[in-house]
Amino acid sequence: MPDNSRPLFRQKEQPLTERIRDLLSRLTLEEKVSQMVYSSSAIARLDIPEYNWWNECLHGVGRAGIATVFPQAIALGASFDPDLLKEAANIISDEARAKHHEFARQGDRGIYKGLTFWSPTINIFRDPRWGRGQETYGEDPYLMGQMGMAFVQGLQGDDPCYLKVAACAKHYAVHSGPESLRHGFDAVVSEKDLRETYLPAFRDLVVEAKVEAVMGAYNRTNGEPCCASPTLLQKILREEWGFEGHVVSDCGAIQDIYQHHQVAGSAEEAAALAVNNGCDLNCGTVFFKLLEAAQQGLISEEAIDTSLSRLLRTKFRLGLFDDEEDVPYTSIPFEIVACGEHGQKAREMAQASMVLLKNEGGLLPLDDLQSAAVIGPNAAATEVLLGNYYGTSKQLVTALDGIRDRIGDPSRVHYAQGCDLTTTEAGFWGDSPAAGFAEAVAYAERSDVAIMCMGISPDLEGEEGATANSDGGGDKLGLDLPGMQEDLIKAVHATGTPVVLVLFNGSPVSVNWAQDNVPAIVEAWYPGEEGGNALADILFGDCNPSGRLPVTFVKSLEQLPDFEDYRMEGRTYRYMKEEPLYPFGYGLSYTTFSYSSLKLDSETVSGDQAVQVQIDVENSGSVDGHEVVQLYLRHGDASSSAPIHQLAGVRKVPLAAGETKQVSFTVTPRQLARVSDQGRLVIEPGPMEVFVGGSQPDSRSQFLTGQPVQSAHFMVVGSARELSH
């Protein structure tokens, strides 16, 4: 029986739409507007506490004290393992719930304490200069969608009535630098690139994962401010995809509409334009001007009610208007935050993300060492474990810490910084930037191996205004190792001591000399709180590396189009015709995998049929490991251009030495379709080729891995058919 002594909006048995309608009816216009900014006011007369919508959990609960810090998002993408990522996201949402309820019980409802998390970032990492590319899962729309959906599902939970937390897909849309221009930039794209590259992951999260929120980007897309775009927010997001959640602006983006984009003439006009076109929540304060906008006839109270109803829907689904005992997630104990079990999962996630780029002569895994030199500016650095948007870890394990702990005897581990990350000129006192080389060389000469921890750091790449890299606004100006790092590598290499190069970074770097000369290279990314332990696990063979590159490592900037050019031609593995340094999907293992018996269920399919693909995968080496089985599609005859080939399936498969497993994929009709020059999704009759293996079917991947991929052909028959987006 409903409790009629309580307002209808407090009665959880009532239909959601009725509860929202009842609460709206009790609010004044001023109160309604106060709920549409991120720091929503309390409404004391209705016993509604203040609520701050802004929270972050890109790779762990961020900016709210102690939390488990998982590897940065680009590293999570490198795992190529949606199932493992979902487990990590479930831990993150557990900690989020535990922290939120404990803070609320203590009366703290401030910023970063709520249940609405502005993660994940699913923009395409189209250019390696972009400082925020580290926040994404890489450059491929399919991988981005698979990883993003897993993350959302882990965050939001599977309760039929309540969200565990509310996830947010950002930044919608066509947003990936330059950072210095983002507040006024117009990203001009063709309908083909928009539908083929920039929107698919957002569609996956909205349609398939039912993400609760979408954040609009700072920039314009084809002339329309993303946070007030009728094309993006109305036509595509709500009408085509059926999105029922709420849209939040990026922070300060509504102000940009009139100050930088100059699409509106005033704050009132910008606020009205955004809400009328589908933006519901302002990270900022411009929406307070909705009162004046209503008085000026720029917006109706009905339009305000429509937006606010979407925000209230989220709060109701989070259980914020219900008793704690009625919401299943309120009982998660505060003691689980950053517990040992969660730290172990962070270590497992870091292990799964590290990519073995080179292993000449089987130098790795290391064995029977009498001594090791750990050298480089990132060896003892904690900031390179974190990336950006992170929480406070109970314990950060650096590379030096992890290696020392693994070897066990500190006297056998020699440490030298060698140089810093960036300095190339003598300092005030005349000290040479190479002053540390002598110590590094001396220790290398006295060691069995030199483990060189190089790369970049979050001080050199990140969001506008958040890094020391002011010249690029957070974006990188080049791809080479900065400072004296390559000279230090050459000096240590010249000693004759075997060198293992470990890269810490959130985006591609060009290490052409190292690839030609250094025997072993490991990509460690920004690996989270357990990064040093995970690295030691990889280096000493306690864990077999299984990460794969989620983004292409080019040889130089000369291989790339202009940064401001948003056309996909020449970008990413799907459209790049030049040979990269390291291809997307590439990574080595301490064992070998063999593929055989590729089978399709039919050699001809109609446009409404799926294609079933099976292949046998054998661990043909002597070490247990995980293989990342990758399926790519290539269109044959087509009426317009198509990607060279594109990822259409991923399975991460554990295989004991000598074990064989059959791996199956389903290629959907949607994956068989192509995007026409006009942006239509069309299945056309003609030949298709499918490739399955441990890498792309490109020649560079085959050369680096020494392993071929399997291929088969089939025909799509019947007449051309258009699919809905």
Annotated catalytic sites, by residue? 250, 461
How wide is the angle at C-alpha 407 spanned by C-alphas 406 and 411, nearest 5°? 135
Backbone angles phi, psi at 192, to 5 degrees: -65, -50
State the residue for tokens 């005349």: 430
Question: In angstroms, rounded to a whole number, what is the distance separating the alpha carbons of residues 161 and 317?
Answer: 7
Instruction: Tell me: cis bond preceding 545? Omega within 30 of 0 counts.
Output: no
3-state secondary structure 105-168: HCCCCCCCCCCECCCCECCCCCCCCCCCHHHCCCCCHHHHHHHHHHHHHHHHCCCCCCCCCECE
- Distance (Å, whole) CA 90 – CA 69: 13
The span from the CA of 601 to the CA of 607, in Å, is 15
**CA-to-CA separations, 191 to 195, 578, 689, in angstroms, rounded:** 6, 25, 25
CA dist 83 → 87, 90, 150, 546, 618 (Å):
7, 11, 7, 14, 21
Strand segments, DSSP code E, in 332-481 are 355-359, 372-375, 413-416, 449-455
- Whether the upstream peptide bond of residue 669 has omega within 30° of 0, thus cis, is no
Distance in Å from the first CA to the final CA of the chain: 44
SS3 category, 294: helix
d(CA 171, CA 41): 26
Determine the distance from the C-alpha atom of residue 404 to the mean position of all C-alpha atoms in its chain, rounded to a whole number.
Answer: 31
The letter for the amino acid at 637 is D
Asked if 287 contacts 279 with a C-beta cutoff of 8 angstroms, the reply is no
CB 29 within 8 A of CB 275: no
Q: At what angle do helices 485-493 and 437-445 cross, to 10 degrees?
A: 30
- Residue located via tokens 């399997």: 710
